[in-house]
Amino acid sequence: MKVLVTGSSGLVGSALVPFLAADGHSVTRMIRGTGCSAAGQALWEPAAGRIDATAIEGFDAAVHLSGANVSGARWTPKQKQKLLDSRINSTRLLATALANLARPPRVLVAASAVGYYGDRGDEPLTEDSTPGSGFPTEMCLEWEKAAEVAAGRGIRVVNLRIGMVLASAGAALRQMLPPFKLGLGGPLGSGRQYVSWIELDDLAGVIRHTLLAEPLRGPVNAVAPNPVTNREFTKALGGVLGRPTPFRVPRFVLRLAFGEITDALLLASARVYPTRLEASGYAFRYPELQDALRHALGRTPRAS
């Protein structure tokens, strides 16, 4: 297939582009800029509402991964608006441009997040579950809605609700590793909140699968089939690193350090299952957390 990819320089895009190319697909990266695009590139300026429609004609599929890092800074009103604009405006711009093409792509896979479900305790969550409440939920609702214009043109739209991505270069593990390596890691708050996660290679595999799996449309949970509590995650990460995890991090300390992100992300509980992925035949390479962490961190067990 000919595949158009936005956010190709980010964590997921950087893994996806060579993954698709190795499968024999032709990949064109959408990059920000003006003027003439190089081979394998198409230009757009989502903040300014500009996109080169001629450069995105004739593709079989599009994957939209653009969006500012949700945990990159404290959630001031300005930062929240930046997060919203980077997701919703870019999605609406791309979806509208694709819908207006003479020959639109057959499928658009657009990123969303498990933040859609909000803080739900130990409730099992599937794609049929209702949305939660709070800023992450509101953002995801608008994010997914922005892609609807493409569906109205007959494009098969998949909204990937992505969990915590496990990769050595990913924001989640990158922030956790320093204290854990020093033996200072521990559960966050009570540690009872559920974490829904996916290993980076599996996420690239999920995206490839959704491009080809015709029955998949609408929300699809891009998470491993075994969500864990934060306490279980802490124990697994400490075990992979060979370090103790004795120190629980109290809620008030997290709030001082991270502000609103504490309750909305760090202590929010989402026990999410990939019901539609598994029903469509996707087989996870890393369904178990410890194996996923070992692979992500290059800590494969030594042969006995």
In this predicted structure, the answer to whether residue 253 has a pLDDT above a threshold of 60 is yes
Kindly state whether residue 54 falls inside one of the protein's structural domains: yes
Q: Which structural domain, as residue segments, surrounds residue 126?
A: 2-296
How far apart CA 185 and CA 243 sit, in angstroms, is: 8
Asked if residue 228 lies in contact with residue 289, where contact means CB atoms within 8 angstroms, the answer is: yes
- Specify the pTM: 0.94
CA triplet 166, 24, 19: central angle to 5 degrees?
Answer: 10
- Counting Cα atoms < 13 Å in the Cβ hemisphere of 110 gives 32
pLDDT at 204: 97
Kindly state whether residue 173 falls inside one of the protein's structural domains: yes
Kindly state whether residue 159 falls inside one of the protein's structural domains: yes
DSSP 84-137: HIIIIIHHHHHHHHHHTSSS--SEEEEEEEGGGG---TT-EE-TTSPP--SHHH
pLDDT at 72: 81
pLDDT at 73: 87
Q: Which of 87-91, 115-119, 169-173 is the least confident region? A: 169-173
- Per-residue pLDDT, averaged over 69-95, amounts to 93
In this predicted structure, the answer to whether residue 179 has a pLDDT above a threshold of 70 is yes
pLDDT at 161: 98
pLDDT at 217: 96
pLDDT at 300: 75
Q: Give the model's confidence band at 37: pLDDT under 50 very low, under 70 low, under 90 confident, else very high.
A: low
Kindly state whether residue 302 falls inside one of the protein's structural domains: no
- Per-residue pLDDT, averaged over 247-251, amounts to 92
Kindly state whether residue 170 falls inside one of the protein's structural domains: yes
Q: Give the model's confidence band at 36: pLDDT under 50 very low, under 70 low, under 90 confident, else very high.
A: low
State the CATH number of the domain containing residue 229. 3.40.50.720
Query: In total, how many domains does the chain have?
Result: 1
Q: Give the model's confidence band at 257: pLDDT under 50 very low, under 70 low, under 90 confident, else very high.
A: confident
pLDDT, tens digit (0-9, with 9 covering 90-100), for 11-30 = 999 999 999 999 999 999 99
pLDDT at 304: 41
pLDDT at 64: 98
Kindly state whether residue 177 falls inside one of the protein's structural domains: yes
How far apart CA 29 and CA 239 sit, in angstroms, is: 38
How far apart CA 287 and CA 205 sit, in angstroms, is: 13
pLDDT at 219: 98
pLDDT at 35: 66
Q: Give the model's confidence band at 302: pLDDT under 50 very low, under 70 low, under 90 confident, else very high.
A: low
Q: Give the model's confidence band at 212: pLDDT under 50 very low, under 70 low, under 90 confident, else very high.
A: very high
Order of strands across the sheet with 218-222? 50-51, 41-45, 26-32, 2-6, 61-64, 107-113, 156-162, 218-222
- Per-residue pLDDT, averaged over 196-204, amounts to 97
In this predicted structure, the answer to whether residue 301 has a pLDDT above a threshold of 70 is no
- Per-residue pLDDT, averaged over 262-277, amounts to 96
Kindly state whether residue 301 falls inside one of the protein's structural domains: no
In this predicted structure, the answer to whether residue 275 has a pLDDT above a threshold of 80 is yes
Kindly state whether residue 243 falls inside one of the protein's structural domains: yes
Q: Give the model's confidence band at 154: pLDDT under 50 very low, under 70 low, under 90 confident, else very high.
A: very high
The per-residue pLDDT of the chain, averaged, comes to 94
In this predicted structure, the answer to whether residue 303 has a pLDDT above a threshold of 50 is no
